[in-house]
Chain A
Amino acid sequence: MVSSYRGYRAPQGMLSWALHRLTGLGVLLFLFLHIIDIFLVGYGPELFDDLLFIYHHPAFVVGQIALIASVYYHAANGIRIILVDFWSNGYKYERQLFYGAMTVFFIAFIPTATIMIMALLDEL
């Protein structure tokens, strides 16, 4: 019932959950990729070094910025979910906690993204 997701006008709680799932899946996807590249070290450092150009490709760097965004969001919102789960008054502040998590996200993400984008522009 994928269409159901479109059929409901998402309140902020549903948006935060959808983003949490998407970012979680994104990070998991990268983890698989990471496992594969580490596995390739077994075939010798030369092969590993030869394939490093993939990680330096601009498209991949953009992907890494998305990865950092995913990790930051998933971590910040994860703390919010833990607070809602374990703190008996957490439910009252669910919305404020979301805005707090978003603030933490932007404080962490903006400088990181700036550094990564600068490095990417230097390479181009």
Chain B
Amino acid sequence: MQVQFRIERFNPDQDTKPWFGEYTVDVEPTDRVLDALNLIKWRQDGTLTFRRSCAHGVCGSDAMRINGRNRLACKELVRDYGSKITIEPMLGFRVIKDLVVDMEDFFASYRTLQPYLVNDEPPGVGRERLQTPEEREIFDDTTKCIMCGACTTACPITWTNEDFLGPAAIVNAHRFIYDSRDHGANERLDVLNSKSGVWRCRTIFNCTEACPRGIEVTRAIEQIKRTLLTGE
């Protein structure tokens, strides 16, 4: 099938503002949007710039706006969009070139929440820190995050508030706060209880809608809010 692509282009060395490039490609309906982007880059315009790595929905490199919503290009089939597809970079971040955005602030927010196991005590039995399946289940959902940025840049709060930590950072804090082996919950909760923490969330649910891994992002944020209120 023939598909018309409108792709937002921006090269800071040449352009003063972004513009849309139009490309027509022949693809199979079962091809993914990423395949079409590759075809455009390889056969029509080698200057088209975008991130991709594993191309199988695991590395989280190719999050972008596809027809106005954040999606991973490698997980979306062309047939689900029809003959016209508009591709734009994620919102709220500085565009480095075309679909590549500057995610430094995104990772800086992530690092402020200590996204690693905090526990100075030696492991109890043997060399392992044991936990029951029930204890593991509590944070199972948030272990699925691939840090693609789709949730954070789908959130209207992050478009206008640079200080907001954003859904992705909170999801990764959630993954450790409710882990029975971790001892750093209080420090993370202190950061999340600040002005730029969870209280900036207005339960818009754009993050949950955008997450390519199906994480219930708003649920995780709400759970942290309730923990801050009740201490449970």
Contact = CB atoms under 8 A, between A and B. Distances in A.
A1 B159 contact: yes
Contacts, number: 67
Contacts of B98: none
Interface string A6-19: 01110101101100
Contacts of B142: none
Interface stretch (A59-67, A84-92, A111-119): A84-92
B8 to A, nearest CB: 10
B91 A13 contact: no
A7 B91 CA distance: 8
Interface of B: 65, 67-69, 88, 91-92, 154, 156, 159-160, 202-206, 208-209, 216, 218-219, 222-223, 225-226
B68 A94 contact: no
A5 interface: yes
A14 B154 CA distance: 10
A13 B209 contact: yes
B91 A8 contact: yes
A92 B208 CA distance: 11
B226 A86 contact: yes
A75 interface: no
8 contacts: A4-B159, A7-B65, A7-B91, A16-B204, A17-B202, A84-B222, A88-B226, A90-B222
Contacts of B208: 13, 91
Contact of B203 (A1, A5, A7, A85): A85
Main secondary structure of the interface of A (DSSP, over half): helix
Interface residues of A, number: 20
A9 B69 contact: yes
B84 to A, nearest CB: 14
Nearest to A5: B156
B91 A94 contact: no
Contacts of B225: 85
Given A11-B206, A94-B205, A5 B216 contact: no
Contacts of B69: 8-9, 11
Contacts of B67: 9
Given A13-B208, A88-B223, A90-B222, 20 more contacts: A1-B91, A1-B92, A1-B159, A4-B160, A5-B159, A7-B65, A8-B68, A11-B209, A13-B203, A13-B205, A13-B209, A17-B156, A84-B222, A85-B222, A85-B225, A88-B222, A91-B208, A91-B216, A94-B203, A94-B205
A18 to B, nearest CB: 8
A86 B205 CA distance: 16
A94 B218 contact: yes
Contacts of A94: 203, 205, 218
